[in-house]
Structure 1
Amino acid sequence: MATYHHITSNDTVSNPSLCPPGPDLWCRQNAAKAKGEPTPKTQIQHRPPHVCEALLPVYKRLSDEKLLQRCLQASAELQRVPPLHDMGPGTQGEARVAVHCASCCG
């Protein structure tokens, strides 16, 4: 959800509270705070409220604990089997990524 708050932030509305603290992290607001520097202006273009509202359910679904557990389980299972992309022809480049994604989430 931290990334949701970042993509819906602007110079007047900002919420880095879910971001990890520290000077060397991806959250520029918290990094500046940890370094004692002024908060940098956001480089993200302001998104209309209706776009933010439409994105919120997607972010909630993607951060659902059950979905995350399924992904972790699929990842662990993939470590025990030979990679699918080595089993068939024509699985290079984008096709290889598609095969990997299908095997994780299928």
Structure 2
Amino acid sequence: MTLRDLTIEESFPIAFHQDLLKKQSEHFVNNSIANGAIEGGYKNIPTELPPNNIIAPLMINSKPPNLLIGTYIKKNWRVILTSMLIGGVVWYFLDRNIKKARLRKKIKI
């Protein structure tokens, strides 16, 4: 009785799926940012690893996609904080001007 050799997917299912999830999440994030819309991230999303990538070593300690958001925030916290502060200041001044305009309108009537 001769048995066939196991594929990489069958030998290391968890590592293979983590590597595929990493590829999908990178593809999703890159295309979502490039297109400016979430729908763009789903176009041509990889459903299997290319054959030439199977020869490469599997990523045993790869991070799941939910940890990529934390990494993004850790790397870009200054930009995020600055954007929030500037946005808050702009929002405050716009809201204050709208309230003043309403008050002026009330006083004229």
Using structure 2 for the length normalisation, give the TM-score: 0.23
Give the number of the structure with larger relative contact order, counting CA–CA contacts within 8 Å between residues 6 or more apart: 2
Which protein has the bigger helix share? 2
Task: Please tell me whether Structure 1 or Structure 2 has the larger radius of gyration of its CA atoms.
Answer: 2
